[in-house]
Chains A and B, each alone.
Chain A
Amino acid sequence: QVQLQQWGAGLLKPSETLSLTCAVYGGSFSEYYWNWIRQPPGKGLEWIGEINHSGSTNYNPSLKSRVTMSVDTSKKQFSLKLTSVTAADTAVYYCARVSYSSDWVYYYMDVWGKGTTVTVSS
């Protein structure tokens, strides 16, 4: 059974860089896309971006200037960095595995991490 275990700093000051990592246990790493998603307190889910095993990325246009995702295939891990954080970046951050078809017609997050609460406060 595939599991995603995520970790990273939970308390940041404004202007710092958020850094999270998600490790994949079980299953293939190369056959999927890997996503980061966040959820501000009391609000809905927001897609941050996606990455595959070769490092190909797509980012949410609203966050693109501050987001970098990377992969370490040897460790089956992928990471998120978000620079210049503000209080608006306070959220639960989730990593997720994505199954997909080559034309994107089928695209779904079938395994989720438990989430990491990140608070930005001075």
Chain B
Amino acid sequence: SELTQDPAVSVALGRTVRITCQGDSLRRYYASWHQQKPGQAPVLVIYGQNNRPSGIPDRFSGSTSGNTASLTITGAQAEDEADYYCVSRDSSGNHVVFGGGTKLTVL
């Protein structure tokens, strides 16, 4: 995959966690972030520079620096436990690539 994510991250309830996504294409294209809970379709949580769709809590935020996009959850809640995927165009711009996903555990 051209986008690299840590396979698993854990966070204590109420603390802040950052999930990262690395790839050369992120120097040109914004990543978007999707949350997926077991047995459900993914849900968009962050897109663009730092935009949240309607209905997504403001504890979710995004940022990009160089070749790394980050999803930050400030004050993680039990319901945030899920898999998180980043996605963007690939380096050529002709295709789309997903990161491998990060499993977030809220302790």
| Interface residues, chain A, with chain B CB atoms under 8 Å away | 35, 37, 44-47, 50, 58-61, 94, 99, 104-110, 112-115
Contact = CB atoms under 8 A, between A and B. Distances in A.
Contacts of A94: 41-42
Which bucket holds chain B's interface residue count? 20 to 34
Given A35-B96, A58-B94, A104-B89, A112 B43 contact: yes
B42 A50 contact: no
A24 B27 CA distance: 33
Nearest to B99: A44
Contact of A113 (B41, B44, B99): B41
Contacts of A46: 98
A115 B36 CA distance: 12
Determine chain A's interface SS by DSSP, over half rule.
Answer: strand
B101 interface: yes
Given A60-B95, A104-B89, 19 more contacts: A44-B98, A44-B99, A45-B34, A45-B87, A47-B95, A47-B96, A60-B96, A94-B41, A106-B48, A107-B89, A107-B96, A108-B30, A108-B87, A109-B32, A110-B53, A112-B41, A112-B42, A112-B44, A114-B41
Nearest to A111: B44
Contact of B30 (A61, A105, A112): A105
A104 B48 CA distance: 11
